[in-house]
Structure 1
Amino acid sequence: MFKLSRIHHISIICSDYAVSKHFYTVILSLEIVREVYREARQSYKLDLMVGDQYQIELFSFPHPPARPSKPEALGLRHLAFEVDDVAATVKYLEQQGVVVEPIRIDEFTGKQFTFFTDPDGLPLELVEK
């Protein structure tokens, strides 16, 4: 019998590497762990640290196929980030030009949450700590 111990990383393929790198590192303030260009694949790979637990791998590939990303599409629904203050984070994101949905209250936890998207329309969520 095996036991999964934690999520190791999450991989995201972007359409415009420079735009997505700016979004994740400047707007979302994720720390760069490592950035490499893989010549054979014509692909950048940017490893990003989220807090001190999880890592996001941001990839670029020439001409990646589109994927449905509406929250109710089959497959991975969204990526959620925990924050101390949802309202303050929303205010900051809106000042950066990011469109954020109205803040809602989770009916089961009573905590605030909301959604926004990355430059490629990937649904991202903010969840109150």
Structure 2
Amino acid sequence: MENLDLIHHIAIIGTDYEKMYDFYVNKLGFKLIDYHERKDDILFNVGCGNLVLEIFIKPNAPKRPHLPIPENQGLRHLAFKVNDVAAMLAEFDSLNIKHEELRYDDFNQRKMAFFFDPSGQPLEIHE
């Protein structure tokens, strides 16, 4: 199978369009690619570099199970590579993005931290 190493997009479900748009576009800096209103939901795609997030807004979607039980089946979290986790956490503070404290990866000792989007999707920054 060829090209399975290339990700086309990652889909996320949220319930509040304004909060999800503000978080991914205004705070994290993704660019809006397109927007579609459908019968029961909204779909908008945002991109940053080669990464595309397909964001569905479904007002009645069930809530995601939250930490401290992240070991449910399915997607655990999305991790973004950054050059300086501490600087990114300071920027998160200025943008009122809640996050966990800086910590070090158990295996490679690189800096990392978790944060969450408005839908509760766990996200990570990692050096």
Please report the TM-score for the alignment, with normalisation by the length of structure 1.
Answer: 0.87
TM-fit CA distance, 1:73: 2.2
* Separation of aligned partners in 2, 1:65 and 1:97: 25
Deviations 1:24-49 (A, max 9, x none): 101111111111212xx332111111
Q: Percent identity?
A: 37
Tell me, yes or no, if the aligned pair for 1:69 and 1:77 is still in contact at 8 Å: no
SS at match of 2:86: helix
Q: Tell me the secondary structure at the aligned position of residue 89 of structure 2.
A: helix
In the other structure, the counterpart of 1:122 is: 121
Tell me the secondary structure at the aligned position of residue 92 of structure 1. Answer: helix
Tell me the CA shift for residue 103 of structure 1. 0.7
1:19 maps to what in 2? 19
| Structure 1 alignment gaps of length 5 or more | none
TM-score by length of 2: 0.89
Unaligned runs of 5+ in 2: none
Q: Which residue of 2 aligns with 1:43?
A: 41
Q: Which residue of 2 aligns with 1:34?
A: 34
Letter paired with 2:73: L
Q: Does 1:87 align with 2:90?
A: no
Runs of at least 4 residues off by over 4 Å? none
- Equivalenced residue count is 124
* Cα separation, 2, equivalents of 1:26 and 1:95: 13
Measured in 2, the distance between the counterparts of 1:119 and 1:62 equals 13
**Is the aligned partner of 1:111 residue 2:98?**
no
Question: Partners of 1:62 and 1:114 in 2: how far apart?
Answer: 29
1:58 and 1:97 mapped to 2: Cα distance?
21
Q: Amino acid of the residue matched to residue 109 of structure 2? A: G
RMSD: 1.4
Q: Secondary structure at the match of 1:119?
A: coil
Equivalence for 1:54: 51
SS of 2:64's partner is: coil
The answer as to whether partners of 1:33 and 1:49 remain within 8 angstroms in 2 is yes
